[in-house]
Structure 1
Amino acid sequence: MTFQIRAVSIYGKQPGQVRTVPFDTGSLNIVTGDSRRGKSALLTIIDYCLASSGYPVKAGAVRDYVSAYALTLVKPQQQLFVARRAPEGKASSSTVLCIVSQAPGTPPPSLEELTFATPLDAAKDMLSDFCGIDRTVRVPAVGRAQTIAPSIRHALFFCLQAQNEVANSDLLFHSQGEEWRPNTIRGVIPYFLGAVDPEQALRRNRLRLLRRDLADLETALAPARSLDPATGQARALVTEAIEAGLLPPLTDPDPSAEGVFALLRRALTHTDPQTEQRNSEDPLSILAAQRDELRRLHGQTRVKIADLKRALTENNDFTSQAIEQRGRLVSLGLLRRDPDMSAATHCPVCESYLPSANATVAGLTRDLAFLEGDLAVIGSDTPAIQRLIGEEEDRLQQLRSALARNQEEINEVSSALRLLQQAPDDLRRGAMVQGRISLFLDTAAYRSATPQVEDRRDELRRQIADLEELLSDDTQGERIASYLSLIGQKITTKARKLRLEHSGSPIRLDVNRLTVVADKADGPLPLPEMGSGENYLGYHVAAMLSLHEWFTEHRAPVPRLLILDQPSQVFFPPDHSGEAALGADDRIKLLNNFEAIHDTLRLLKGQFQVIVMEHADLDHPAFGPHVKERWRYATDEALVPSDWIDEETA
């Protein structure tokens, strides 16, 4: 048994802020209101909480003032609470959820009580289990060499109809317009329709894996077979070597495997007698070698000049600092020593004796002498460094001139060689053959040193044949065709009751093109060619209700709910609200769709739930009594309470 939705809850960013929108199971639930009041956000919140990989909630008040979202899912005697935080920072979505099993009727807990610790993949598995999906089943993906494990995310293809989908001529199923989704929908439809036998599905998956293993083994064995001289590749290389002049003609027309490999090794060592002479006399090679040497010397000279200039800068910096310090120490010359009192010194100002200054003055005088010596040494080094810089810069200029002359000579020689290279180059052909021989011998040596691949082809072919025999009686294709025929009858009945165009012809669900088709006398007519928004909406409603009748009657693992976002949009612009905007005919046509919903709800006797978000608010038994929320600007009602916004901006 699968589930329906008891409530959608949101948690504000301030403590204690919780808003819950309750729904009745087994019946129609309508949320009506003006634009930008949060109606469409209900569908994206449900999608997000059911393990969406992205964050489908659109920008607006919901994103700005909600910190977490939650669903209360119910099925007989069971209740599951699922919560998920809004993405934080620059994250594209939250990757952990809170999933709690509750007693039926338990209200949503406070945000402080929630623990978000279930990874997204684990949450998807838990929701799939709660939906009744057999996660051991694998179905082949359409257009790709892999299988699909059906999950809750695949079941939602048949449960959600967003605002841009509910009356779309090109899209019948939810998310059909996204990349890769059409083939995924085609792949999982047989499972959800009940046409897939789990045991046969396992066999088909096993057959696919065995075929892949056989192909991989064939690929692995192919190089080993090609390296066997008896296969001809080695002999073909010997023939090419003879034609290229690398080997003399064979004396033995049928050499052994060892002889073939010996010949290939001999061809690999062959050199043209004139090759070395040509290479030594090749003017282009000589010029290239000269250029390499000139570039090396050029680089060395530039480095030497940079080092010399750095040394000169350091000398100049030291000389400036030393001269400044010497000027300060020269002032010691103002002190005069008394010859009768060796430990005393006269002050130059007052002529008084300074007996304690002698030791200090002696030390400073000694430092001054050392500083004078350093200045003398550096003063003698600086001219030498400047002379060396000049010599190296002259050499650098000479090297630049030599490089320019060398390039001119290379250009002249290259032009002359191009004129001479008109005949076929036998040497080049020989080198290419030697390259192929070298690759062959290297690969042969590698394979002889590695473990040999076990040839299990006969065993794999036997297993494949056994599985093909077991699957020969599989009637999945026939079951799908039969089921689609019965579903098509349901769609046709509903289309006629809705008085849709072309409903006089049989209507069928085309799972290849993912649309509905009217089989007319002059050929099939797919939905995109039927025209009229009324037809698009009507066939969407008829197809979805017919599918859910089938799902429910055959206990398929699909949530027993259908969510429609603003089906009335085809009858009046979305910026209008209220039944006053609807003409009499449009009002009848819209109500016909709600009558069709009620027919299905009555047929399924509480096992199916429909949630509709609408602009319209019609005073009719098929509509008015089923309105659960009215979110109008006039009453200041919306999904996000106004006091949450006021508190945030206060």
Structure 2
Amino acid sequence: MTFQIKAITIYGKQPGQIRTVPFKTGTLNIVTGDSRRGKSALLTIIDYCLASTDYPVKAGKVRDYVSTYAVTLTKPGQQLFVARRAPEAKAAVSTVLCVITQAPDTPPPQLEELNFTTPQDTAKDILSNFCGIDSTVRVPAVGKNTLIAPSIRHALFFCFQAQNEVANPDVLFHSQGEDWKPNTIRGVIPYFLGAVDREQALLHNRLRNLRRDLADNEAMLAASTDVTPASGQAQALLAEAVEVGLVPPRTGEQPADEVLRHLRSAMVHGAPQAGSPGDDPIAALHTQRTELRRLFAQTRAKIADLKTDLAENNEFNDQAIEQRARLASLGLLNRDPDTADRARCPVCDSSVPAANETVVGLMRDLAHLDGDLQAIGSDTPAIRRLIATGEDRLQTLRSELARNQEEINELTTALRTLHREPDDLRRAAIVQGRISLFLDTAAQQVAAPRVHDRREALREQIAGLEEQLSGSTQEERLTSFLSLINQEIKKKAKALDLDFSGSPIRLDIGRLTVVADTVDGPVQLKNMGSAENHLGYHVSTLLSLHEWFAEHHGPVPRVLILDQPSQVYFPAEATGEVELQTNDRMHLLNLFEALHHTLQQLDGKMQIIVMEHADLADPGFSQHVVERWRYGNDSALVPSAWMDHEDS
């Protein structure tokens, strides 16, 4: 069960200053008033108190005269009071909150009773839990190789519509226009709609961890191999030792123990030995690299051919099985034991002589198909084994190429340094120093705990989880849920008499917009003319989503906040309804009727808060007004007495 908003409270900068704006749960609440009376600040105050990472309250009277903000959250049998100070001095945001569990209907406490000791992250976790969000669920982020832990901050994407969002053709959800937010919204929508199965989410998380463990183990094994005597560095050091005459020339590939033995022998020679001046170790390494590349390309081409053969085998096998299933019905034609050349009808058991030649031909085809299937069945495992062998060979060649490149790099750098030394003894001493350092490092590696090769076990676990998750129905569930939600969006669009409402309407979570599928092609929200359409589809979509959340227990606050939806009809500076034309007035009342109708259907399970300039006399509007903040009645979010006290 999740929550609705019972009240917003602000505390002034002077002792005893407190102002509470109450709201009714389960119904429509309209706060109407003139510009600059604090209406839009209500949304930003709620956002700030619900563990925002920034300070969204805009500069003005609210910032100037308010020291602390608070919101009272309620759900059946429970109430939570959350307060947060305005940033002090030059701080960008206050990082501690006051979170108090209260009995239902408890009034906001006085400022001096509040203790701000709850860190922002802890407060976010408390609020997420109060909202009903499962803290163990992780969902994959879109466009990034990370996981998202859904929280209250993600749920608010579907609860707020700021003044610059409610009729914006380019954004559908709150904060969608900010960097990185669109991919986050795409990632969490399946969870809040209920398409993410908790057990499958845990399995996906475990699969991700296993893949990371496999990568880490491979990296550790590679690092361990790099410092062993058989590494490219060891081979390069041996070539350097030959170059300066510390050891006699060697031919062919040297085993690891032989390389180590030669390096140790190079340390006991006090003077260079006669070498072979004509030898060029760098050229030999490049020749070896060319051959390795040739073998790598050859092996890769062979694997590609084998995979093509395997695909063709599988395709033929599928077709052959389908054809055999059709011919298998011939088994219904029984053979008369006395007249073997006669087939008998499976229904009446009478002889069917006319069908003999056809049946014999078809039976022959069936036998040929069985033979082909048997041959394909025996070939396929062999091809798979050849592919696996080729993949292993590719991995070996990759390692050899890496070792060869390492040896080339090491030897090139070393020889460049040695050639700057004209003295043979000094050159030999430099090489001996490098060999000594390498041998010490190799000895430390031998003494260190050996890296356990867990690759095979991890790969088996990964394969098992992938097979277990292969039948995941998350995408199918999400598609099904969106199809049902789309039907509701269309109904509401028709009730609001929006353009394109006669066509199929769908919520596109890939593009995060609404799309109408017309005979001329899809039309996205941004291409639908008229701000009235933009507003109407925003409201239709969010109402339909909240109906789904309420009916299917989605862990989203049961509140929708709209800031000035009448802006598409109503001049911003207007204070009444005289400027509103008859047609615009009717459309605006239809909008509020749609809000009220949804709330009636949900029977108290949802709350809507609207901040408006308009103040219509029609009962469909006026009966839901909870606050009127006008200059004429000297009413606003921040009481004028607070400002008068400051001035005095």
Report the counterpart of residue 560 of structure 1 in structure 2: 558
Report the counterpart of residue 84 of structure 1 in structure 2: 84
Query: In 1, distance between residues paired with 2:647 and 2:610?
Result: 32
The aligned amino acid for 2:631 is Y
Task: After TM superposition, list the pairs within 5 Å mapping 1:409-420 onto structure 2.
Answer: none
Equivalent position to 1:576, from 558, 574, 577: 574
- Equivalent position SS for 1:564: strand
The aligned amino acid for 2:257 is E
Equivalent position to 1:623, from 621, 633, 637: 621
Report the counterpart of residue 215 of structure 1 in structure 2: 215
Once the two structures are TM-superposed, the CA of residue 571 in structure 1 deviates from its matched residue by 2.1
Task: After TM superposition, list the pairs within 5 Å mapping 1:311-326 onto structure 2.
Answer: none
Equivalent position to 1:456, from 454, 465, 473: 454
Query: In 2, distance between residues paired with 1:261 and 1:201?
Result: 50
Deviations 1:212-260 (A, max 9, x none): 0100111111133344565766446656876x67688745535442332
Equivalent position to 1:513, from 483, 498, 511: 511
Once the two structures are TM-superposed, the CA of residue 427 in structure 1 deviates from its matched residue by 5.9
The aligned amino acid for 2:487 is Q
Once the two structures are TM-superposed, the CA of residue 634 in structure 1 deviates from its matched residue by 1.6
The aligned amino acid for 1:637 is S
For the 8 Å contact 2:224–2:445, the answer to whether it is kept is yes
Report the counterpart of residue 21 of structure 2 in structure 1: 21
Query: In 1, distance between residues paired with 2:602 and 2:270?
Result: 87
Query: In 2, distance between residues paired with 1:555 and 1:176?
Result: 24
Task: After TM superposition, list the pairs within 5 Å mapping 1:440-519 onto structure 2.
Answer: 444-519=442-517
Between Structure 1 and Structure 2, whose CA radius of gyration is higher?
A: 1
Report the counterpart of residue 174 of structure 1 in structure 2: 174
Query: In 2, distance between residues paired with 1:492 and 1:106?
Result: 42
- Equivalent position SS for 1:73: strand
Once the two structures are TM-superposed, the CA of residue 576 in structure 1 deviates from its matched residue by 2.7
The aligned amino acid for 1:500 is L
Q: Report which stretch shifted further, 52-61 or 458-467.
A: 458-467
Report the counterpart of residue 132 of structure 1 in structure 2: 132
For the 8 Å contact 2:142–2:183, the answer to whether it is kept is yes
Deviations 1:22-58 (A, max 9, x none): 1111111000111100000000111111111221111
| Structure 1 residues 522 and 272: alpha-carbon distance in aligned structure 2, compared to 1, 3 A threshold | farther
Deviations 1:601-637 (A, max 9, x none): 1110111110000111112222111111111112211
Report the counterpart of residue 357 of structure 2 in structure 1: none
Deviations 1:493-536 (A, max 9, x none): 11122122222221111112211122223332222222321121
Report the counterpart of residue 31 of structure 2 in structure 1: 31
Task: After TM superposition, list the pairs within 5 Å mapping 1:346-495 onto structure 2.
Answer: 428=416, 444-495=442-493
- Equivalent position SS for 1:581: coil
Report the counterpart of residue 542 of structure 2 in structure 1: 544
For the 8 Å contact 1:81–1:102, the answer to whether it is kept is yes
For the 8 Å contact 2:247–2:262, the answer to whether it is kept is no
Query: In 2, distance between residues paired with 1:256 and 1:159?
Result: 68
Once the two structures are TM-superposed, the CA of residue 425 in structure 1 deviates from its matched residue by 12
- Equivalent position SS for 1:628: strand
Query: In 2, distance between residues paired with 1:35 and 1:616?
Result: 11
Query: In 1, distance between residues paired with 2:472 and 2:479?
Result: 13
The aligned amino acid for 2:580 is L
| Structure 1 residues 573 and 446: alpha-carbon distance in aligned structure 2, compared to 1, 3 A threshold | farther
For the 8 Å contact 2:217–2:453, the answer to whether it is kept is yes
Query: In 1, distance between residues paired with 2:538 and 2:112?
Result: 42
Report the counterpart of residue 253 of structure 1 in structure 2: 252
Report the counterpart of residue 62 of structure 1 in structure 2: 62
Percent identity, aligned pairs only?
66
Query: In 2, distance between residues paired with 1:216 and 1:100?
Result: 44
Once the two structures are TM-superposed, the CA of residue 107 in structure 1 deviates from its matched residue by 1.8
- Equivalent position SS for 2:614: coil
Task: After TM superposition, list the pairs within 5 Å mapping 1:183-202 onto structure 2.
Answer: 183-202=183-202
For the 8 Å contact 1:128–1:151, the answer to whether it is kept is yes
Report the counterpart of residue 533 of structure 1 in structure 2: 531
Query: In 2, distance between residues paired with 1:636 and 1:215?
Result: 66
- Equivalent position SS for 1:39: coil
For the 8 Å contact 1:25–1:608, the answer to whether it is kept is yes
| Structure 1 residues 252 and 13: alpha-carbon distance in aligned structure 2, compared to 1, 3 A threshold | closer
Report the counterpart of residue 358 of structure 1 in structure 2: none
Once the two structures are TM-superposed, the CA of residue 592 in structure 1 deviates from its matched residue by 2.1
For the 8 Å contact 1:579–1:616, the answer to whether it is kept is yes
For the 8 Å contact 1:560–1:607, the answer to whether it is kept is yes
Report the counterpart of residue 93 of structure 1 in structure 2: 93
- Equivalent position SS for 2:260: helix
- Equivalent position SS for 2:578: helix
The aligned amino acid for 1:164 is N
Deviations 1:405-455 (A, max 9, x none): xxxxxxxxxxxxxxxxxxx99962756998997686675455334322111
Query: In 2, distance between residues paired with 1:74 and 1:501?
Result: 38
Equivalent position to 1:604, from 599, 602, 605: 602
| Structure 1 residues 106 and 251: alpha-carbon distance in aligned structure 2, compared to 1, 3 A threshold | closer
Once the two structures are TM-superposed, the CA of residue 130 in structure 1 deviates from its matched residue by 1.3
Report the counterpart of residue 612 of structure 2 in structure 1: 614
Task: After TM superposition, list the pairs within 5 Å mapping 1:265-284 onto structure 2.
Answer: none
Q: Report which stretch shifted further, 88-97 or 606-615.
A: 88-97
Report the counterpart of residue 159 of structure 1 in structure 2: 159
Q: Report which stretch shifted further, 92-101 or 38-47.
A: 92-101
Once the two structures are TM-superposed, the CA of residue 641 in structure 1 deviates from its matched residue by 0.8
- Equivalent position SS for 2:91: coil
For the 8 Å contact 2:504–2:517, the answer to whether it is kept is yes
1:4 is the counterpart of 2:4: yes
Query: In 2, distance between residues paired with 1:28 and 1:582?
Result: 22
| Structure 1 residues 171 and 240: alpha-carbon distance in aligned structure 2, compared to 1, 3 A threshold | farther
For the 8 Å contact 1:127–1:152, the answer to whether it is kept is yes
Query: In 1, distance between residues paired with 2:562 and 2:540?
Result: 12
The aligned amino acid for 1:428 is R
1:587 is the counterpart of 2:575: no
Aligned length: 499
Report the counterpart of residue 333 of structure 2 in structure 1: none
Ranges in structure 1 where 5+ consecutive residues have no aligned partner: 274-423
- Equivalent position SS for 1:261: helix
For the 8 Å contact 2:246–2:272, the answer to whether it is kept is no
Q: Report which stretch shifted further, 111-120 or 40-49.
A: 111-120
The aligned amino acid for 2:22 is P
- Equivalent position SS for 1:165: coil
Query: In 2, distance between residues paired with 1:537 and 1:632?
Result: 25
For the 8 Å contact 1:97–1:117, the answer to whether it is kept is yes
Once the two structures are TM-superposed, the CA of residue 638 in structure 1 deviates from its matched residue by 0.6
| Structure 1 residues 181 and 441: alpha-carbon distance in aligned structure 2, compared to 1, 3 A threshold | farther
Deviations 1:432-481 (A, max 9, x none): 99899768667545533432211111221122122222222221111111
For the 8 Å contact 1:5–1:23, the answer to whether it is kept is yes
The aligned amino acid for 1:485 is S
Deviations 1:568-617 (A, max 9, x none): 11223423332222222222222222121112111101111100001111
For the 8 Å contact 1:246–1:270, the answer to whether it is kept is no
Query: In 2, distance between residues paired with 1:252 and 1:467?
Result: 49
The aligned amino acid for 1:62 is V
| Structure 1 residues 267 and 617: alpha-carbon distance in aligned structure 2, compared to 1, 3 A threshold | farther
Once the two structures are TM-superposed, the CA of residue 128 in structure 1 deviates from its matched residue by 1.3
- Equivalent position SS for 2:549: helix
Query: In 1, distance between residues paired with 2:542 and 2:640?
Result: 36
